[in-house]
Each structure stands twice: as structure tokens, then as C-alpha cells.
Amino acid sequence: MTSVPPSDWLVSVDDHIIEPPRVWLDRLPAKYHDVAPRMAKSDNEAVWCYEDKVVPTSGLSVAAGKEKEQFSPDPVAFDDMRPGAYDAAARVEDMDQAGILASVNFPSFPRFCGQIFWEAKDKELALLCVQAYNDWMIDEWCGTAPGRLIPLAIIPLWDPKLAAREMERCKGKGVNAFAFSENPEPLGLPTIHDPSGYWDPVMSAANDLEMVVCMHVGSSSTMPQISSKAPQLASLTWGANRTSGAMLTWLFSSYLQDLPNLKIVLSEGNIGWMPYFLERAEQVLDKQRHWATTGAMQSYTANFGYPDQGAIYQADVMTLDVRATFRDHIYGCFIDDVAGIRCLDLIGEDNVMVETDYPHSDTSWPNSIDSLNRLIGHLPESSQRKIRRGNAERVFQFTAAEPAIAP
């Protein structure tokens, strides 16, 4: 148990759940039990079957409590992971040990924004699976410890109108955030710049319901790859390119100009890169926005060998204020980012939140609060409070509950 008093614990806006075996079987009609998400062979094996997919659980997803030398991407069983990975009561015990006051959790089997249900053949079943997951997340997982476990919904990506209705349903059950893709295009879905406004129902609902759009790195179902022969560890180091791309595409989208309540959270992307890209975006706007609004973009792309984009849904670049848009709408998250904290004056202390990534291999657990305090302990107490918990409580609109710590 950490010696830090609970009032100074942190709120993590990015942790993960390994779904227990009966999330879907307990909530779906019996006629679907042979094709619904279910455990292969026995409840002890963390291998999922769904339609024609077989999905094992990677050891890197449940590395909490192990030494780095024990990390492995090989499949694991439930006996090989800490109970806190899949059991809410055990999770809270682990949170108490590390000084984690509250936690937002992304899904594992459905993937970070529910991509597996978008890929499903039977969309009627897929919708039921999305709803079943959300009910389990709200009623059972978060219901075990209200104020400690913060609900995060998933949506049916294949039907934005259905998604908006599911968001309304979840909002009625107390949910203030949903998972979305950092880049829908690799999934085979329209981008947020789609001229037909494919995502309008979702983003309008997020604005009206004041639900945070949470985008976890990897929610595009892509892996970073510098080149075909680049060492994989080099490409993993490069992974924040996905998050920086997400930030920039949103900065230049019309959604953040048109929807004043829309807020996006960039999970597990770190923050040290943000000052550069904000500065570069300002430079590009200053130098290039005039010709870019004259209709010359087609000749520009043709001269450099790029395909014509056609119509796109984008911000009014003549009025776009990069810093104000970032300040009002975008939030970065970090686990261990010395460079980012040193650049906090360029990012803004109101736009930064902490994450612990439990139980993944990058997790700061069980030293989460001590590690954070080493990073931010030199800052004014008001700044520390914002990063530690205040920004998360404000953005996710919740009041954390005091932990029930035995004397």
C-alpha cells in the first residue's frame, strides 16, 4: 500500500480490462451462444471464439506484477494473470496498492474501440454484443466500485445513427465517454473528413450529450512500421506517430470548429511531441492557408504526384486558431514522459492527464503514484492537482469516491 494519502492519489484515464468468460453468454439470447463471444475449451483459457475468429489473450496485455524479463507476447490463461485484470474487486485492491483513485478502462477482446464487432458478419448479433458489453461495463464492472471505475462505452461503428442511439442509452446510465478510432480509414470506414458527413450523428451526439471521444493508440488496427526491414522495437518507439496524426486531423477538421462541447482524449500517445506539432501547424497555416483556399490544391497534389482528394470536410483555415482549438478540445495522456512535463508550458497544464496502462507491459503499476510524483513533484501544487486528478474529473465529469482503506 502506498504511503501517499488518498486525497493525493491519481486518476488514470487509460487502463484495460481482460473481459471475464461470460460477459456475452450471460446477456445474449441462447440462440446466439454457439456464435457469440465465448471462451474456447474451458473458462480457464483466455482464448475467445466469435463467429469464425479465434482470439487469444497476449501475455503483454497482462504483464502487471511480472518482471520485465518475464514479459512475452505468447497467449496466456487466466491462471497466468493477476485477478485484477478481469475481476473488478481485485482491480480496486490493486488500485489501492498503487495510489490509483479511479480508472477508465478500454476493452481487450473487442479491441480498443470495438473493431471486432465492426468486422462481424452478423451485424444484428454484433449490435447485441456492443450493448451487452456496455451493460456489463456499466452495471457489473463499474457497478462494483462506483466512483472508482469509470465507464467507457463502445459503439456500433457500422451505423452512426445506431451509434448515436447507443450513446444516448449509455448516457442515461451515467456514461460520459465512448471509444472511437484514432483513424477509421484503415478499418475500412470513412474518415472524419468524409464530405457526406458519415460521422455527423456520432459527433453531434457527443457534443449534445457532452460525451468524451476517447481514442487509444492502435484503435486504427495498425502497427507502426518505419520500413519493412526496420527493427520492430524501433517501430514500437515510433508508435506515437499515430497519435500525432490523430491530433492533427482533428485540429484541421470542421468538427472542433462547429461543435463547442466536443472533447477528444488521446490515450497512450504521450505528450512530448505535442509542442512541435502545434507549432508546425501554426507555421503551415500562416504560410500556406492563402493559396490553399484558392482552389490550387488540385494542382499542388498533381505536381507532387499525390492523388486528388476530391471534396473533404475540413476546418475554415482562414479562421482556424490552432492553440485555442487545442486548448478547448484536445487532451493528451502520458505514463512516463519527462520531455512532455518539461514542455508543459507549451502544452498547457489543463490539457494533460495521467494514465497507468494496467495491466499492460507499459504499466507503471505498482509504483504509479510514486512514479508520477517523481515526474511532477517540482510543479506548483495547483498544477500537480490538475494533472494528478483534477483534469480527469473535469473532463470525464465525475467525482471520485474516497477509497475504503482499512486502518
Reported as a single tens digit per residue, the pLDDT across 146-203 is 999 999 999 999 999 999 999 999 999 999 999 999 999 999 999 999 999 999 999 9
What is the C-alpha separation between 14 and 213, in angstroms, rounded? 13
Strand 330-334 with 264-267, pairing: parallel
For 214-255, how does the pLDDT look when each residue is reduced to its tens digit (9 = 90+)? 999 999 999 888 999 999 999 989 888 999 999 999 999 999
Residue 201 exposed, middle or buried by CB count within 10 Å (0-12, 13-18, 19+): middle
Band of pLDDT at residue 3, cut at 50, 70 and 90: confident
Band the pLDDT of 405: cuts 50, 70, 90.
confident
Residue 255 pLDDT: 97
Q: For the segment 28-47, what is each residue's pLDDT rounded down to a tens digit? A: 999 999 999 999 875 567 89
* Of 72-81, 288-297, 376-385, the least confident: 288-297
Average per-residue pLDDT for the chain: 93
Are 366 and 98 within 8 A, CB to CB?
yes
pLDDT at 312 over 90: no
pLDDT computed for residue 402 by the predictor: 87
Q: Give the pLDDT of residue 406.
A: 57
Q: Is the pLDDT of residue 81 over 60?
A: yes
With bands split at pLDDT 50, 70 and 90, how would you rate the model's confidence at 102?
very high
Rounded Cα distance, 101 and 149, in Å: 9
Gap between the Cα atoms of 327 and 58, Å rounded: 37
Mean pLDDT for the stretch of residues 376-388: 98
Q: Helix, strand or coil for residue 160?
A: helix
Give the span between the Cα atoms of 167 and 170, in whole angstroms: 5
Provide the sign of the torsion angle of the four alpha carbons 54, 60, 64, 70, taken in this order: positive
